[in-house]
Chains A and B, each alone.
Chain A
Amino acid sequence: MRTSPFHKKFAAHNAVFSERFQTEIVSRVSDPKTEYETVRCAAGITDFSFMQRFRFPEEKGLDFLDSLCAGNVAKLRYGRVLHTFLADENGMIVADCYIANNDEEFILLCESIADDDVVKQLLLSRGAAEAGMVDLSQSHALLGIDGFKAWAVAKELFGADVLGLPYLSIERYEFSGAGVSLFRSGKTSEFGYLLLLEADKSDLVFDACLASAQKNNGGLCGIDIHADLRLEGRFFNVFAEGASVRDPLSLGLQWMIDFNKEQFIGRDAIFARREHGLEKKIIGISAGPDASGFTKGAKIVNGSDDVATIVATCFSYTLNKFIGLALFSIDFAYAGLSFRCGDANGPVVSTISMPPIMPKSLTVKLDDM
């Protein structure tokens, strides 16, 4: 198991740790409701070091990454980040990826639903060594700042210029002599940043982030709450619906794919499925006041017919009810309909447009700050 470089820091706050795909993750630091509000209203500091991370020199890295991932890396502009995925030969998702063009280099960050080393081995088997790949998992740490006030933390650490960073961009900063690559990314639909830090300086930056977050009424978070936040904000979570469904087309991830690209892993399979037409699709669902049986794996029925399976659920503190995602047969894959959970007499389940909440961060413009 690859341990977290922030283990001690989080342990000091009584964090609960666990293991996922052979990486150590910080599951929780406080209770779900507190962590939820930390992100939705303030700033949450989360350990993202479980992500795989690699660096490639620009020239060879470009061709290499472009030949593997579904998105177009060649047209990624300097200072921008591409959100795409890595699939296997069957066109099934293996990892949710951020690829950043840092000019002389590309940085690849992966959330993988395969064991920790699998992505690296996959890349090596495809020629990563020749492409000059450097594994950053030991030399660097990844810290996330997410929340309605995340920008305030970033601004305090790196200066007001961060407010000008567009979503999905990368910028190099220095903090106390430590080089930091700051990603403006984030999957909670509040403002979000990922900090790629040199491991030996990571404690310094951690302390500064936490202090600043606390000043803004925030604090530490585990990774579990991010699953709920992502679902609420309808951001793809490879660990939830990604792991259950695997097919990027049914998951609605066509926007991560450049269909004009001639080569990427799994292209043929994906094209064949696209040609054939979707048979199932992920749709958002909402439970009623009676949420019994509203769990992952449960069936959704229309009369006596099965029409869907629930693949992810969470409790939305904003809406004060349970919401989720279900894999629907294509004929019923529409929002605004009512079904039953479990069987024809089960509680009502409705299909909804996602995301069902309006995050605070979308109501303000960063450049007004």
Chain B
Amino acid sequence: MQKEIGQRREIIQTFKSELIRRLNLPYTPDDLHEDVALLGAGLGLDSLDALEIVLCIENSFGIKIPDENIAVLRSINTIVDFVISQQTANKEQQ
């Protein structure tokens, strides 16, 4: 369990600090609950911010989000889930 927690926590921390930096959000990483809606409700980010988020994920984890996949961008948790699933898939391919 500790290993899973560690892996998830690391991805969460990396993503949060990059996101805060890129979008200049007025929050600390601990202020951002992982289930808060990013676009529309919750943080209320817009379409331009969504593009930044996609680039943030690409640059931080080397993972591309397909254009139509808005479901992935709903919250930090959904993004982390996607990153983990891609990383697992990549590992299996190797």
Residues of A near any B CB (own CB < 8 A): 83, 167-168, 234-235, 252-255, 258-260, 274, 277-278, 281-284, 302, 331-332, 334-337, 353-355, 358, 362
Contacts and interface: CB of A to CB of B under 8 A. Distances in A.
Contacts of A362: 70-71
Interface of B: 1, 4-5, 8-9, 12, 26-27, 30-37, 40-44, 70-71, 74-75, 77-78, 80-81, 84
A223 to B, nearest CB: 20
A336 B1 contact: no
A335 B26 contact: no
A254 B31 contact: yes
Contacts of A284: 35
Contact of B77 (A260, A281, A331, A354): A354
Given A167-B41, A260-B26, A354-B75, A254 B4 contact: no
B35 A334 contact: no
B39 to A, nearest CB: 10
B36 A334 contact: no
A353 B35 contact: yes
Contact of B5 (A235, A255, A337): A337
Given A255-B42, A336-B8, A353-B81, A278 B75 contact: no
6 contacts: A259-B26, A334-B5, A334-B12, A337-B4, A337-B5, A353-B77
Contacts of A353: 34-35, 75, 77-78, 80-81
A335 B34 contact: yes
Most chain A beta-carbon contacts within 10 A, residue among B1, B36, B41, B78: B41
Nearest to A339: B1
Contacts of B81: 335-336, 353
Most chain B beta-carbon contacts within 10 A, residue among A253, A254, A281, A334: A334
Contacts of A258: 26
Given A353-B35, A353-B77, A167 B40 contact: yes
Contacts of A337: 1, 4-5
A252 B36 contact: yes
Contacts of B4: 334, 336-337
Most chain A beta-carbon contacts within 10 A, residue among B9, B33, B37, B41: B33
